[in-house]
Structure 1
């Protein structure tokens, strides 16, 4: 077994495509930054160019961070890189005095995945100071995003941030209800729900821009990770021994947080006090009965 195969975290990642992909992402960042820097202030500079190049930089940096986790890069390097990834995302997502930006809408599966990824990475990489800045990305569309997903609101509450009652609603019902059930279950039953989530997570993410990329030639994917499963595991201090080796579970991130972060908050369902119970509705966006 090669040294790459022994240290990689993503089972579908191969050494040569991984090296090509990493180099390509670095080149994408450099090219977009050069175009942005040389075009600002020039006559004929297009408004959509400012957004497109900032978004390209942010997207490549975000993918590079996920790729770095997948290929086995040291956790300390990821923690050091995360602030730059977040800072790159802010120009194209937060309101700007001169340029038009585009907020994240959590009713879109890609954006929902981004929200779960950013929140999870901030907390599990022990960058609690950056969690409010992550939430600010999604609060730009506050009316559209808040109070419409019980899992998202429960995570914010557990992170010590203000919540909006979601009345038992969830955006996506193929897998994520299992995480809400894990939160609400008695501690000994929680691992069962997280394990089931991990088994259903990848099929449930069909429709995202990155789904199925491991089968494309040339291989250009960065890794498949249910980061939110790691976040719930850490925040609710769930015993992950029964599912830590399942695909898509970011066990090294959880281990890093448990070793380097603050002690997980006491076991409680207080953050769900305003919720109406686990979702069972078959339609996304509808209130789910108890």
Structure 2
């Protein structure tokens, strides 16, 4: 048996289509970074936005794929700041070019937010956690105070919250994580276990759902990273569910054994965007820390 199959974390990942996909995606990343280095001055708004969107999406896919394929968590942790820089360039306001915020009312956006928030904390890039939440505060009126789980996670991370009055965006699985948080400690594993069993069917409608079956050449892996975040933040005993599909046990183990690591300067949020910091008008939410 190939070493690939003994180290992979994602049971639906197969070596040949995965390696072809990774090589093609890395080539795309190199090409896009070349455009941004060499052709940025002549880029129109559509080209700039398209390049950054493709670059962020490609880096995100490669990042998830590296975890799925079994890359050491330490290597994944070192790559995380570069991913966040690419995502910031795509989503945070820019003084010249139009960018598109992420909306948590869409299932893809909600999963994206949960994934990036979970990765930042589980990889112990504590300094990047506020930068991740700033991505979703760009659309603050639509994103904040609308989901009790998201706000509860922010509160446990020591960040400001907006009362959500028990509301949840998506009701098929995520209420079980909120119940796990609110339950007495001995009952918490039961709710996380049930969440993991319901998570994949509940994510039907996302662009990536079912890719392992219909388009394996586009598949990077399925992970309920938020189950790991809740487990870590509330110190839940995961022995009863750590081997269930979709649970990122290696990230939880890493978080429990490693302290916070140095992250890029908090004020460098827009460094990748090749322009002066974004400004805001009176009454608008500032997209940056500081």
TM-score by length of 1: 0.87
For the residue of structure 1 that corresponds to 2:13, the secondary structure is coil
Q: Where do residues 187-206 of structure 1 align in structure 2 (5 Å cutoff)?
A: 187-206=185-204
**Structure-2 separation of matches of 1:74 and 1:102:** 33
1:1-290 equivalent positions in 2, closer than 5 A:
1-42=1-42, 45-261=43-259
CA distance in 1, matches of 2:20, 2:10: 16
Distance 2:224 2:232 in 1: 13
Partners in 1 of 2:79 and 2:215 — Cα distance? 29
Q: Distance in 2 between matches of 1:233 and 1:215?
A: 29
**Tell me, what secondary structure is at the counterpart of 2:31?**
helix
Output the CA distance in 2 between the equivalents of 1:123 and 1:92.
Answer: 21
C-alpha distance in structure 1 between counterparts of 2:208 and 2:63, whole Å: 15
For structure 1, the 5+ residue unaligned runs are 263-290
Count of residues paired in the alignment: 260
**SS of the residue 1:198 aligns to:** helix
The Cα of 1:258 is off from its aligned counterpart by 0.6
1:20-78 CA distances to partner (integer Å, 9 max, x unpaired)? Answer: 11111101111222233343222xx4311111110110110011110000000001100
Give the drift of 1:218: 4.8
What TM-score do the two structures reach when normalised by structure 2? 0.87
Alpha-carbon separation, structure 2, partners of 1:111 and 1:207: 12
Query: Distance between the aligned counterparts of 1:47 and 1:39, measured in 2?
Result: 12
Consecutive aligned runs of 4 or more in structure 1 exceeding 6 Å deviation: none
The alignment yields a C-alpha RMSD, in angstroms, of: 1.1
Matched residues in 1 for 2:120 and 2:216: separation? Answer: 31
Larger deviation, residues 142-151 vs 14-23: 14-23
Query: What residue is the counterpart of 1:268 in the other structure?
Result: none
Counterparts of 1:219 and 1:91, CA distance in 2: 27
The structure-2 alpha-carbon separation of the partners of 1:34 and 1:223, relative to structure 1 and needing over 3 Å to count, comes to: same
